[in-house]
Structure 1
Amino acid sequence: MTAGPLRPRELRPATRGERRARVALVAVGLGLALVGAVAAVTTLPPAQWVRVALWLAAGVVVHDAVVAPLALALGVGVLGRVRRPAVRRLLRAGLLLAATVVVVAVPLLATGGLR
């Protein structure tokens, strides 16, 4: 099976090292999420918990309604037209970096920056 611009690659079983790395990454991620949850519960006043929950829910809605469709459109519209795999990888990395900067910068700009 040849991998075209939008065709999925043939999947191979993960190696033992890849499985261990995934388990380690999941464990680290869960540990950091637990640390964040404990820090949020112990430092935020209970009156702000509802606002934080609404903010997190809004983040999910914005991701599903705006970011994901935009990423799909860019992936199909831009990356689908590039034939060279090396250039496609560079474009994908650049678009991911730009999206990350936008996700961080827009809330800062919308709220007047750091206070």
Structure 2
Amino acid sequence: MRARLAIGAVGVVVALYGALLFLTRQDPGQWLEVAIWFAAGVVAHDVLLSALLIGLCLVGARLLPAAWRAPATVALVVWGTLTIATIPMLTRAGARADNATLLDRPYAATWWTISAIVVLLVAVSGFLRSRRPRAQE
């Protein structure tokens, strides 16, 4: 219990420090833009992404055999998070012609490779789970 309180206290202190830096170093004219940006992130996550994920999991629960449901759900969450996190690199947002060192890696190839690994792990996990004998009911 003490460890949780200590970790929570550290989190509160770090958040307050971040708020202090924001309020003292950011132009007050940009505070509204930052608030809109945060609100849009919450709406995008809670309304769009969560609803889409829940809907896909419900469809998967109806279509997939029981042994494949959990691996497919985990893969969906992992792959979705990976994809959302890499959108700026995949779209090359922020790339500049005068600085070739920005976004200079094969991000699309890396994304495809990791996606293939996720699919492979789901296939192996689903196969192993489907081969496991069921308990008699």
Structure 1 unaligned segments of length 5 or more: list them: 1-18
Extract structure 1 runs of 4+ deviating beyond 6 A: none
Q: CA deviation at 1:84?
A: 2.5
Identity %: 35
Unaligned runs of 5+ in 2: 97-137
Alignment of 1:69 with 2:70, yes or no, is: no
Alignment correspondent of 1:102: 83
The one-letter amino acid of 1:57's match is A
Number of residues of Structure 1 aligned to a counterpart in Structure 2: 95
Paired amino acid for 2:74: A
Q: Could you say which residue in structure 1 is the equivalent of 2:66?
A: 83
Q: Structure with the greater relative contact order (CA < 8 A, sep ≥ 6): 1 or 2?
A: 1
Instruction: Describe the shift of the 1:20–1:102 C-alpha distance in structure 2 as closer, same or farther (beyond 3 A).
Output: farther
> Shift of residue 62 of structure 1?
1.5
Mapping 1:27-42, distance limit 5 Å = 27-42=9-24
After TM superposition, the score normalised by the length of structure 2 is: 0.51
Q: Residue 23 of structure 1: CA displacement?
A: 4.2
Code of the aligned partner of 2:12: L
